[in-house]
Chain A
Amino acid sequence: DQQVKQNSPSLSVQEGRISILNCDYTNSMFDYFLWYKKYPAEGPTFLISISSIKDKNEDGRFTVFLNKSAKHLSLHIVPSQPGDSAVYFCAASERETSGSRLTFGEGTQLTVNP
């Protein structure tokens, strides 16, 4: 039973446009959500996070939105740059009960075309 799902295995956008990556979860006990970015031959790197007490967190070109009622979060990248091309993983945890245990989605390959 996969508790975190990224239904789009790939996404292609034009440079300068907005990239929207989506993630759905089923466990209502998740209280912390993260996005990681992974380039080939490298480990995932932390990008941005959001606590369940918020519905939006912004860091430069990256914004994460959380809709708890829909159990859905999304990552917006604007404007998209070719260097953003990577695999993006959504992850979630129950910090209050399970501490650092992260549950990951399958990842979405983002390609930003010049």
Chain B
Amino acid sequence: ETGVTQTPRHLVMGMTNKKSLKCEQHLGHNAMYWYKQSAKKPLELMFVYSLEERVENNSVPSRFSPECPNSSHLFLHLHTLQPEDSALYLCASSQDGLGFDEQFFGPGTRLTVL
């Protein structure tokens, strides 16, 4: 595997379910990100981790819970989501979290909440 991978690619869940999105980067980077892209809207930054520590949380509802066990893996745990949470969730990584290098994105997980 190369670059940034995300699983699953598609997920359909009910509002009472609990699920997790997984992201893995094979680039040796130290920073990882979760973004949300809703239909007809710009990508919105959700979380930033640098060296496995959360450095930014953009006022995301608590029903989204990130986890970064090491610099290569990032999870997004989902519980009691709402239909308006249906979106494309993108993971990205960069060499550091300082903004002096570009971010590399995974293919995304298309989430549908029924």
Interface size on B, residues (CB 8 A): 28
Residues of chain B lying within 8 A (CB to CB) of residue A104:
42-44
Q: Does any Cβ of B come within 8 Å of A69's Cβ?
A: no
Instruction: Give chain A residues whose Cβ lies under 8 Å from the Cβ of B76.
Output: none
Whole-angstrom CA separation of A93 from B107 in the bound complex: 22
In the bound assembly, the distance between CA atoms of A56 and B28 in angstroms comes to 31
- Name B82-114 residues within 8 Å CB distance of A: 90, 92, 94, 96-100, 102-108
A105 contact from B42, B50, B104, Cβ within 8 A: B42
Can you pick out 12 interface pairs between chain A and chain B where the beta carbons lie within 8 Å of each other?
A: A36-B105, A43-B107, A43-B108, A45-B105, A89-B42, A95-B98, A99-B55, A100-B96, A100-B97, A101-B56, A102-B45, A104-B42
The chain B residues found within 8 Å of chain A, CB to CB, are 4, 31, 33, 40-45, 48, 50, 55-56, 90, 92, 94, 96-100, 102-108
- Contact among B55, B99, B104 with A95 in the assembled complex (CB-CB below 8 Å): B99
The proximity string for A residues 1-44 relative to B, scoring 1 for CB distances below 8 Å and 0 otherwise, is 01010000000000000000000000000001010100001111
Number of interface residues of A (CB under 8 A): 26
- Residue pair A46, B99 in contact (C-beta under 8 Å): no
The verdict on A106 contacting chain B, using a C-beta distance below 8 Å, is: yes
- State the CA gap A104–B97 with chains docked (Å): 17
Closest to B3 in A: A43
**CA–CA, A4 and B100, complex, Å:** 19
Q: How far is the CA of A34 from the CA of B105 in the complex (A)?
A: 14
Whether B99 contacts A89 by the Cβ 8 Å rule is no
Distance from A91 Cβ to chain B, minimum over Cβ atoms (Å): 8
User: A94: nearest residue on chain B (CB-CB)?
Assistant: B99
Do B40 and A106 touch across chains, with their CB atoms under 8 A apart?
yes
Q: B98 and A89: CB pair below 8 A?
A: no
B42 proximity list for chain A (CB < 8 A): 2, 4, 89, 103-107
B100 to nearest A CB, angstroms?
6
